[in-house]
């Protein structure tokens, strides 16, 4: 009777669930399984045959885990739980304006089978009562014709993540005894809500209510609504976000019929019940819950289902109107250019200037879901941070979602910062989106600078800092560059330098040319003379093309290839020339001759190389610390 958290599809790998969460459901099942109040629905003959004490609980999370206990694989008919999903399908097939002309959105305060029509327009009060549901199904029928039943079954099968079928015995039983629903359909035809013969639409409605599901199916259907229309296991988008919002709103106000007020007050979750004993509830953004137990109360809701939902809502704090006012902090880290630097390796004089002016460069790394509350916090921090900065790098790489409604606010804030004199550099390139047009241009951000990664944005910001003179720091292009052999050689004693310089040979490289190739013999040490030289690491399996991540970029004056050169080991990575340039090359045979003929000069060079390696290792350690901090 009790099962653990398992994937709904054996072919789909889903993470195992938390044992404590599973134990909670088992505890609830154990506590409520002995309840015997309520009675099985008997106005539909086939429903009266249900096992009165069947009882299952299933919970599906937004990332696809399913917890279940009890009779969660026992089939039963979906009944009125189908109503919000067919309404969602009708919204997608038609549109909201059309549907509002056919069915309202106001709670009726009456039973599910009440003939509740607006006295002026004649349209049903809402899609959750039978009159509104029949009107809704009629819109699908009139649009799809003979293909309507296949359309419905495909829709529900996608939501459940498996093929669903109609329980023919229940369908026939409902069709043959559904006289009240037949009367409702003809009233709707008379009012013009149904524009054709109502019988095909009514027949489709009977079939819709007779779709056979399990408690587990309902949990996944609810989780799809929790995920704003994306089925959590298949990953398919089945409903738009706007449609899900409207469905959940109606489930919150009308889903439990004349018990809706009590439900919203006590439980506080959008929900829908069915007279076969199913109850479906949604916690938006988190999970979907389903309970099946055929014993019903006087409102037509499952007695055990109501009790389980009430207790779970209270114990886990799921009530929509009982939420913590303190949302998560959207700022992952706030730093500056002195502490956080790119992987571009620069000469010591550049590093000194960056360290001296790093406070003028601020870095904000943002995380999580940027809803209205989190966005307000971010906008405030942007203003505060920009007040003390000339350059601002805004890293949105950890943002899970930027709500569409918040994008104009963020664009407007960034435009204001630019106009106030703070240059903004953004990463990644696509998060703000265009929303159907050139959003950047529309909001005054046509000149905004975008970068594929935080590292590239930091490099560009550093370049801008180095270009700008300060009171005590002249522009770097106004600083003498020495004799052009780079810091490694310039750090040597002049007498040693005179010995080393004749051994350096100039080599030119074209844009994109491989300067050092992985696996080759390390037969030389290189010092960048002109241009940039980049080493990167492939993120795809060996032998396949794919994205690469930059490990380092060497600026003029920087040496590279020294590890393999010293150890006489094969090269461990490719290094490519960017934009063309030249390098000084110290060949191995020349170095071996130096060791033999002038060991003092060779030793001095080795000490200088070791010191240079130490500086690079210190930078690498700092970057590893930043990664460890998250």
5/7 Cα distance (integer angstroms):
7
265/259 Cα distance (integer angstroms):
10
Domain made up of 19-316: CATH architecture: 3-Layer(aba) Sandwich (3.40)
Domain made up of 486-629: CATH architecture: Sandwich (2.60)
Give yes or no for a cis peptide into 110 (omega within 30° of 0). no
Instruction: Quote the longest CA-to-CA distance of the chain.
Output: 110
Please report the sign of the dihedral spanned by the C-alpha atoms of residue 192, residue 197, residue 198, residue 201: negative
Give 314's contacts (C-beta < 8 A, 6+ positions apart).
none
231/226 Cα distance (integer angstroms):
9
Give 419's contacts (C-beta < 8 A, 6+ positions apart).
444
Where are the CATH 3.40.710.10 domain residues in the chain?
19-316
Confidence at residue 617, expressed as pLDDT on a 0 to 100 scale: 86
509 - beta bridge partners? 581
**Is 3.90.79.10 the CATH number for 331-476?**
no
The CA distances from residue 224 to 156, 208, 218, 287, 323, in Å, are: 11, 19, 10, 8, 22
List, in sequence order, every beta strand (DSSP E) within 20-65: 56-61
User: Quick check: 317 and 353 in contact, CB under 8 A?
Assistant: no
Contacts of 428-431 spanning 24+ positions with Cβ under 8 A: 428/396, 428/397, 428/452, 428/453, 431/396, 431/399, 431/402
DSSP β-ladder status, 211-213 and 271-273: unpaired
Task: Order across the sheet with 449-450: list the strands.
Answer: 331-336, 361-370, 391-402, 423-427, 449-450
Angle between helices 198-209 and 82-93 (to 10 degrees): 130
User: Quick check: 125 and 253 in contact, CB under 8 A?
Assistant: no
Phi (first) and psi of residue 278, to 5 degrees: -85, 145
Confidence at residue 620, expressed as pLDDT on a 0 to 100 scale: 79
The CA distances from residue 482 to 347, 529, 610, in Å, are: 12, 12, 22
Residue burial 315-354, b: 16+ Cβ < 10 Å; e: rest? eeebbeeeeeeeeeebbbbebbbeebbbbbbbbebbbebb
Where are the CATH 2.60.120.10 domain residues in the chain?
486-629
Per-run averaged pLDDT (10 residues), the chain, 630 residues: 36 54 93 93 88 95 94 96 98 94 86 74 90 96 94 97 96 94 93 93 97 98 97 96 96 89 93 96 95 94 96 92 76 89 88 89 92 88 91 92 86 89 86 47 63 92 84 44 73 92 95 92 92 82 69 91 89 92 94 94 93 85 66
CA atoms within 13 A on the CB side of 226: 29
Closest CA to 25 of 5, 8, 51, 6: 5
Closest CA to 47 of 289, 302, 257: 302
Confidence at residue 547, expressed as pLDDT on a 0 to 100 scale: 72
Q: Please provide the distance, in angstroms rounded to a whole number, between the alpha carbons at the two ends of the chain.
A: 43
Closest CA to 60 of 195, 267, 234: 234
Phi (first) and psi of residue 36, to 5 degrees: -125, 5
User: Quick check: 269 and 313 in contact, CB under 8 A?
Assistant: yes
Backbone φ/ψ region at 155: left (φ over 0), alpha (ψ -120 to 50), beta: alpha
Confidence at residue 487, expressed as pLDDT on a 0 to 100 scale: 84
The CA distances from residue 281 to 10, 39, 54, 224, in Å, are: 25, 22, 19, 11
Number of H helices, E strands in the chain: 22, 20
Closest CA to 2 of 55, 51, 50, 75: 55
112/255 Cα distance (integer angstroms):
9
Give 11's contacts (C-beta < 8 A, 6+ positions apart).
none
Phi (first) and psi of residue 514, to 5 degrees: -80, 120
Where are the CATH 3.30.750.24 domain residues in the chain?
331-476
Closest CA to 348 of 622, 615, 623, 618: 615
């Amino acid at each position: 009777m009790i099962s653990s958290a398992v994937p709904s599809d054996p072919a789909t790998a889903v993470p195992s669930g938390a044992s404590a969460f599973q134990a909670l459901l088992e505890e609830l099942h154990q506590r409520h399984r002995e309840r015997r109040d309520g009675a099985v629905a008997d106005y539909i003959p086939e429903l009266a045959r249900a096992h009165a004490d069947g009882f299952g609980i299933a919970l599906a999370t937004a990332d696809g885990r399913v917890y279940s206990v009890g009779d969660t694989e026992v089939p039963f008919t979906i009944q009125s739980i189908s109503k919000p999903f067919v309404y969602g399908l009708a919204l997608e097939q038609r549109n909201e304006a059309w549907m509002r002309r056919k069915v309202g959105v106001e709670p009726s305060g009456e039973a599910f089978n009440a003939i509740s029509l607006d006295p002026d327009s004649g349209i049903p009060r809402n899609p959750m009562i039978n009159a509104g549901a029949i009107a809704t199904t009629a819109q699908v029928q009139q649009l799809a014709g003979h293909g309507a039943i296949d359309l419905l079954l495909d829709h529900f099968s996608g939501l459940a993540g498996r093929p669903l079928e109609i329980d023919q015995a229940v369908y026939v039983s409902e069709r043959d005894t559904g006289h009240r629903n037949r009367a409702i359909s003809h009233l709707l035809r008379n009012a013009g809500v149904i524009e054709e013969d109502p019988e095909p639409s009514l027949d489709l409605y009977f079939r819709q209510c007779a779709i056979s599901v399990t408690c587990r199916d309902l949990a996944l259907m609810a989780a799809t609504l929790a995920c704003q229309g994306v089925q959590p296991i298949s990953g398919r988008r089945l409903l738009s976000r706007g449609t899900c919002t409207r469905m959940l709103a109606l489930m919150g106000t009308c889903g439990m019929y004349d018990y809706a007020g009590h439900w919203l007050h006590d439980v506080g979750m959008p929900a829908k019940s069915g007279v076969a004993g199913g109850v479906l509830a949604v916690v938006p953004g988190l999970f979907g819950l389903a309970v099946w137990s055929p014993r019903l109360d006087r409102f037509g809701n499952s007695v055990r289902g109501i009790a389980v939902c009430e207790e779970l809502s209270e114990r886990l704090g799921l009530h929509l109107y009982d939420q913590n006012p303190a949302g998560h902090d959207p700022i992952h880290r706030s730093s500056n250019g002195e502490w956080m630097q790119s992987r571009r390796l620069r000469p010591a004089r550049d590093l000194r200037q960056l360290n001296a002016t790093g406070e003028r460069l601020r870095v904000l790394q943002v995380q999580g879901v940027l809803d209205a509350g989190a966005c307000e916090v971010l906008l405030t921090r942007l203003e505060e941070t920009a007040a003390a900065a000339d350059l601002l790098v805004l890293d949105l790489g950890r943002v899970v979602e930027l709500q569409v409604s918040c994008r104009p606010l963020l664009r407007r804030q960034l435009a204001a910062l630019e106009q106030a004199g703070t240059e903004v550099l953004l990463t990644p390139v696509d998060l703000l989106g265009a929303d159907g047009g050139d959003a950047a241009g529309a909001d005054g951000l046509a000149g905004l600078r975008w970068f594929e990664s935080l590292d590239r944005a930091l490099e560009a910001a550093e370049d801008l800092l180095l270009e700008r003179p300060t009171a005590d720091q002249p522009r770097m292009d106004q600083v003498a560059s020495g004799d052009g052999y780079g810091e490694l050689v310039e750090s040597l004693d002049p007498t040693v330098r005179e010995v080393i310089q004749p051994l350096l040979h100039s080599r030119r490289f074209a844009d994109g040319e491989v300067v050092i190739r992985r696996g080759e013999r390390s037969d030389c040490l290189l010092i960048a003379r002109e241009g940039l030289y980049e080493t990167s690491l492939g993120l795809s399996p060996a032998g396949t093309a794919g994205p690469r991540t930059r490990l380092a970029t060497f600026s003029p004056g920087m040496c590279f290839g020294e590890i393999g050169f010293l150890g006489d080991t094969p090269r461990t990575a490719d290094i490519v020339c960017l934009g063309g340039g030249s390098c000084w090359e110290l060949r191995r045979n020349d170095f071996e001759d130096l060791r033999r003929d002038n060991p003092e000069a060779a030793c001095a060079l080795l000490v200088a190389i070791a010191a240079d390696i130490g500086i690079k290792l210190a930078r690498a350690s700092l970057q590893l610390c930043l990664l460890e901090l998250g």
